Amino acid sequence: MERRGIKFGVYIPEDIAMELEDIMKSMGIDNKSKVIQEALRVFVLENKWYFTKSVAGSIAILYNHDVDEVDEKLTDIQHEYIDIIKASMHVHLDEKKCMLLIAVKGESSKIKELIGKLHTIRGVLLIRHVLLSLED
């Protein structure tokens, strides 16, 4: 049995729609449906890990290293999760900002816990993660 698509309407704010048009035009893309389908596939892939047990990926942390003890706290948390952290890299971005990149592999519950603890550290400005399910 062939699977068929479902057609539905989506509200997109004007500023996003205009940016989408500009980017599509500069990339030579003329099919909005394909772009939206690809964006939805990425969304599903990036968020499927929440519902699976085994995941791998990266966590990027942007932080102000001038805040008292932020580096020490980030290091301490990494030591707490040494079983799921496979590698990390520290990048100096400017006089005040640094980025910490952490590669992880393990149980999703433990990775969620790690991300939660990272969010509690004073001086952390932004956390972005790309985590993918290792299960089919």
| Residue numbers belonging to the annotated binding site | 79, 90, 92, 98
Residue 21 lies in a domain: yes
Task: Output b/e per residue, 96-129; b: 16+ Cβ within 10 A.
Answer: eebebebebbbebeebeebbeebeebebbeebeb
Same domain? For 64 and 40 the reply is no
Same domain? For 121 and 61 the reply is yes
Total domains in the chain come to 2
| Residue numbers belonging to the annotated binding site for Ni(2+) | 79, 90, 92, 98
What tokens appear for 7 in the block?
């057609």
Residue 1 lies in a domain: no
pLDDT in tens, 86-132: 999 999 999 999 999 999 999 999 999 999 999 999 999 999 999 98
Taking a C-beta distance cutoff of 8 angstroms, is the pair 108, 57 a contact? Answer: no
Domain carrying residue 18: 14-49
Supply the pLDDT for residue 42: 83
Same domain? For 29 and 92 the reply is no
- In the chain, where do the E strands start and end? 54-64, 85-92, 97-107, 124-133
